[in-house]
Structure 1
């Protein structure tokens, strides 16, 4: 992997970690007390201090790094999915890395445009309570990586990920009453990503 690709991967993984924390904080899945304020992209964000949650996120990011190291195009999307108590998906934050072409990107040698875009996303995430219905009580979440079957096999054979096995989720239930909310598209020479939220308002109303 070239130095440029390594930097791009580091930028992506840093952002995913920030975004996961920001989403979990503002979707009120955990007590606010487990988060602390930190500064990144010239704004304040919230970061978990909960050991088990942090370990889970760390393992997810490690798996993504290993997949990208093998093949930079192996990760299609990364999804943070919320479920109601019936284990039905009700909300999905999608980090789409597959649908954007590498051409016609903005030159960004000092990563200024990339940082500005990531800052915009974080600010939009901090306002998610204004455009999404509240999550019901007893909600849970998981992080999914959409990839190829060959990539999944290599991931499970990778010694760096052997303590955190991934399973194929072929029968995952789909949201029926989808409401799609675009957040931001980034097309720079170091990061290509589209981020949006899919919400099932009807399922959120189930008690």
Structure 2
């Protein structure tokens, strides 16, 4: 049994990679389905048993790669509380929508961690991917009933990290996000048993 468990063990690094991979697909799905960029600038990719869309825009890819590789380091070291994707009205800079991806830290498999001398999880990867699949399906379903974005929009991603983090060059402090007349939708969560990810979308209710 322990041989089987060892084979399936997920390290802290591996778990942080799973979290950031989800974030990449989730952010891209929102950008595509909310119409922030033309549909022809996205390509289909198979992941979690789903066909998902990923931007082919070099600037977007570079931005997300840098952001998520830094976030991965901070998640490994338990420095990140949440990552927020915000959608902004270009004309007046109003925040219309905020997708909060909240990270919680879990203890993994105590016995296996003791054996391997590092914190690990024995949760089956297929089970984790099934949970992520359910969340991705819910992201798509939620987007279908959000208010129509009838203005030109841009996006930004905020990393809510602990104050003792070394901030990379070209990163800056961000103001707190406030959405007037906000409605919230809580989506399903998934867990690697080392990290738990909760997704909540807040949006401006159109009067």
Question: Same fold judged by TM-score > 0.5?
Answer: yes
Runs of 4+ residues deviating >6 angstroms: none
Write the distance in 1 (CA, Å) between the matches of 2:144 and 2:161. 32
Partner of 1:90: 96
Cα RMSD after superposing both structures: 2.2
Deviations 1:63-102 (Å, cap 9, x if unpaired)? 2023234x2x2100001000112111110111011xx462
Name the TM-score, length of structure 1 as normaliser. Answer: 0.82
Write the distance in 2 (CA, Å) between the matches of 1:103 and 1:6. 14
Cα–Cα, structure 1 residues 114 and 173, in superposed 2: closer, same or farther, change >3 Å?
A: closer
Cα–Cα, structure 1 residues 7 and 174, in superposed 2: closer, same or farther, change >3 Å?
A: same
Write the distance in 2 (CA, Å) between the matches of 1:18 and 1:176. 28
Partner of 2:134: 120
- Contact preservation (8 Å) 2:181, 2:205: yes
Deviations 1:108-144 (Å, cap 9, x if unpaired)? 5322221111111211222234221112321111000
Name the TM-score, length of structure 2 as normaliser. Answer: 0.82
Partner of 2:164: 150
- Contact preservation (8 Å) 2:184, 2:202: yes
Write the distance in 2 (CA, Å) between the matches of 1:103 and 1:55. 33
Partner of 1:17: 24
Cα–Cα, structure 1 residues 8 and 79, in superposed 2: closer, same or farther, change >3 Å?
A: same
Instruction: From the CA coordinates, give the structure whose radius of gyration is larger.
Output: 2
Partner of 1:189: 193
Counterpart selection for 1:64 from 68, 71, 74: 71
Counterpart selection for 1:174 from 146, 156, 178: 178
Deviations 1:150-190 (Å, cap 9, x if unpaired)? 11xx133xxxxx4xx21111x34511211000111223414
